[in-house]
Amino acid sequence: MGALSQLKTLYHLTLSPIRGETHQERLDSFYGGQADEYDAFRKKMLHGREALFERLPVTPGGSWIDIGAGTARNGELLGDRIHEYGAVTFLDLSKSLLEVADRRIKDSGWSNATTLCADATAIPLPDASLDLVTFTYSLTMIPDWFAAIEEAQRLLKPGGVIGVVDFYVSRKYPADGRRKHSYFNRNFWPYWFNHDNVHPSPDHLPMLERRFTAELVEESQGKLPLLPIIRAPYYRFIGKK
């Protein structure tokens, strides 16, 4: 990623105003000017995606939907295993990002994959029709994230798998076995990410553990390009319906 492209992306992340009356309009306002550079920059800040996909099972002939898929980069994280699926859907509400996703699908030869521009809380698919649902750094950008989790639960077959990786902050008094973040972390990160309409929550992980049988819960921290000294907390979750 060249210096000019990086500066352009930094501008859209930190200074460019986000306009729009609807969530979709705000997403396209935010991503429209950086869609082509999206993957190169976010590879440095969206940690844990590779580790999540290494642990996710693949159901031969099954169906997978990636919610908030952006540019469909997650398809590459599965490698050749993506061809084992009967149907793959990359869902996003940003048309700018889905244009990049469509190009990636064509260039990669994923004949079993399509894109879908839709709201994560109202996905036009039948109940219990999917084997895998994933959210990677998208729950924090969905205003009604709890409805998106309920939608994932509706779509999964019994025994189906959900995989999530995202920024978060702990509750002031977390459950036993969960990390307790400092006062600084619990207040700084929501403030920092708020400009980009990203909302790290103390309630994502408890909600996921309440709705699904946890197979994997990992809490960690990762560097950000703009803040090399401190690290943003994130989690990985794999659960079954």
- Three-state SS for 152? helix
Give the separation between CA 179 and CA 221, rounded to whole angstroms.
11
- Three-state SS for 211? helix
In this predicted structure, what is the pLDDT of residue 195? 80
Q: Evaluate the CA torsion angle 29, 31, 35, 37 in order and state its sign.
A: positive
Give the separation between CA 136 and CA 239, rounded to whole angstroms.
14
pLDDT means per 10 residues, the chain with 241 residues, are 45 50 53 50 76 95 97 94 97 92 96 97 97 97 96 98 98 95 96 89 97 97 82 97 97
In this predicted structure, what is the pLDDT of residue 231? 93
Tell me the pTM. 0.84
In this predicted structure, what is the pLDDT of residue 227? 73
Which residue range is the domain that position 47 belongs to?
3-240
End-to-end CA distance of the chain: give it in Å, rounded.
Answer: 40
Strand partners, 63: 87
In this predicted structure, what is the pLDDT of residue 19? 55
In this predicted structure, what is the pLDDT of residue 176? 94
In this predicted structure, what is the pLDDT of residue 42? 60
Number of domains the chain contains = 1
Sequence letter at residue 236: R
Strand 113-117 and strand 156-167: pairing? unpaired
Q: What CATH number is attached to the domain comprising 10? A: 3.40.50.150
In this predicted structure, what is the pLDDT of residue 35? 46
The tokens for 62 are 């099954």
- How many C-beta atoms surround the C-beta of residue 84 within 10 A? 15
Give 99: exposed, middle or buried? Use CB within 10 Å, 0-12, 13-18, 19+: middle
The closest alpha carbon to 11, from 24, 27, 30, belongs to 30
Strand arrangement of the beta sheet that strand 227-240 belongs to: 113-117, 87-92, 63-67, 130-136, 156-167, 227-240, 213-224
